[in-house]
Amino acid sequence: MSQTVQVGPVKIGGGNPIVVQTMCNTHTSDIEATVCQCLSCAKAGAEMVRITVPSLADVENLRLIRDRLRSVGCTVPLVADVHFSSEIAMALPGIADKIRINPGNFHPRHETAREKFALLIEKCRVFGTAIRIGINHGSLGAYITEKYGNTPQAMALAAMEWLEMAIEADYADKVVVSLKASNTVVMVEAYRALGRMMKERGVMVPLHLGVTEAGNGESGRIKSAVAIATLLEEGLGDTIRVSLTEAPENELPAAWYLAERYGLPHPGGIPSPLTERERYILDAACEFGPRLLRGEIEDFESEDSELHDEILQACRKKFYKPEYIACPGCGRTLYDLQGTFERVKAATAGFRNVLIAVMGCIVNGPGEMADADYGYVGEGRGLVTIYRRREPVLRHIPEAEAVERLVELIRQDAAETPLTIN
Ligand code: SF4
């Protein structure tokens, strides 16, 4: 069993019920909108809410958001999401209840990143602030991929290095780890590897489970459910997010379903009931997904052929349509992500064996779209960059033309080389 980490009034791990969380997609500078969304998510059952902090100015915005929430009696813990900047992370203890970072991205020089992480631990110790070491497939950093490749093992090893620092600093009892990937096989393997490494080390910190950039609709829910259910069945996972490119409140019914199916019941019952259809697809995903991902079965019988194909694709057994990854959006999102994702899906539905990413921002999008064949990435100011694998091939394309240009590019490439999925 994992140890318990206290985050504000919420306990993660240690045999407590699985904690359900989500993330705001408002701009953090829009305090009114972010406060409203936090309240709405808390009402829908979020036990923890993450908010992006992309700049030092947003540290102060987060403080204002927290004060407004507390003044109306909302005690939901706030998790600050920080990318790259140790300076921003250092300004957050005392404001956020938990800080989510990937310390490997604090500095290109690995030793400097380690020094910055050590300083952050000391600052967090002063305020009792929890830390999530959040490693994402696709943004691992050269220091680890050069040695171990872009693999589940590399993700687990990267997390173990930072966890070891926290253990040595006697701060592991405030640490949670996540190893997210959009590829369910990679994600499941990474957490399993980390579980083995932690067991050998004799320190089990709580795990935050999530499939990143899972997309939306039924395929997004199914992709999250097959991977999260597999790990929860195997005894790994203490807090979960069903990440969807939709309103964050929409994530909560599926997350609650998984938390209650595999964890202890929450006192007070379920605040986010499922629709009949959601329950039907989640039941099927949880029944067949873990067996497919463990290789116990290669296929299954179902009268619902669409659901059958979605589950097989979520487990990467069969690709009956393009594989999409889309970030859920956050305060960094620079355009109408949800609407654009729908347009991209409609325009590319006829392709096969291709992985297309739709990402909200140019800061993290290119790194986080991992092994996508094509990426649609918002630059801001109504412009888009289109990527082929990791290379930006069409820059500064007006949004109005971007979907069409993406389709043209895929068509041209497909004419030259048949598409194969990674
Ligand atoms: S890629 Fe999407 S979720 Fe990630 S930081 Fe950018 S906008 Fe936010």
For the stretch 42-54, pLDDT in tens is: 999 999 999 999 9
Q: Is the CB of 330 under 6 A from ligand 1?
A: yes
In the chain the domains, ranked by start, together with CATH numbers, are 5-289 (3.20.20.20), 321-416 (3.30.413.10)
- Relative to the CA of 81, which ligand 1 atom is closest? 5
pLDDT of residue 268: 77
Could you tell me the two tokens for 89?
């992370």
Check if the beta carbon of residue 25 is closer than 8 Å to that of residue 331. yes
Ligand 1 and 138: CB distance under 6 A:
no
**Residue 375 CB–ligand 1 contact under 6 Å:** no
Secondary structure of residue 53 in the 3-state scheme: coil
pLDDT value of residue 418? 60
pLDDT value of residue 273: 83
How far, in Å, from the CA of 107 to the mean position of ligand 1? 20
CA of 139 to the centre of ligand 1 (A): 12
d(CA 210, ligand 1 centre) in Å: 15
Cβ–ligand 1 distance for 220 under 6 Å, the answer no
Per-residue pLDDT, 150: 86
Q: What does residue 328 show for φ and ψ, rounded to 5 degrees?
A: -75, -15
- What are 235-267's pLDDT values in tens digits? 999 999 999 999 999 999 999 999 999 999 887
**Nearest-CA residue for atom 1 of ligand 1:** 365
Return the closest-CA partner of residue 172 out of 153, 147, 198. Answer: 198
Distances (CA, A) of 305 to 134, 212, 308: 36, 26, 5
Task: Give the residues of the chain that fall short of pLDDT 50.
Answer: none
Cα 81–Cα 122–Cα 107 angle in degrees, nearest 5: 55
CA 88, 89, 95, 97 dihedral sign is positive
Q: What is the pLDDT of residue 126?
A: 98
Cα(333) to centroid(ligand 1), Å: 6
pLDDT at res. 67: 98
With b for 16 or more beta-carbon neighbours within 10 A and e for fewer, the 255-274 pattern comes to bbbbbbbbbeebeeebbbeb
pLDDT of residue 353: 85
pLDDT at 334: 83
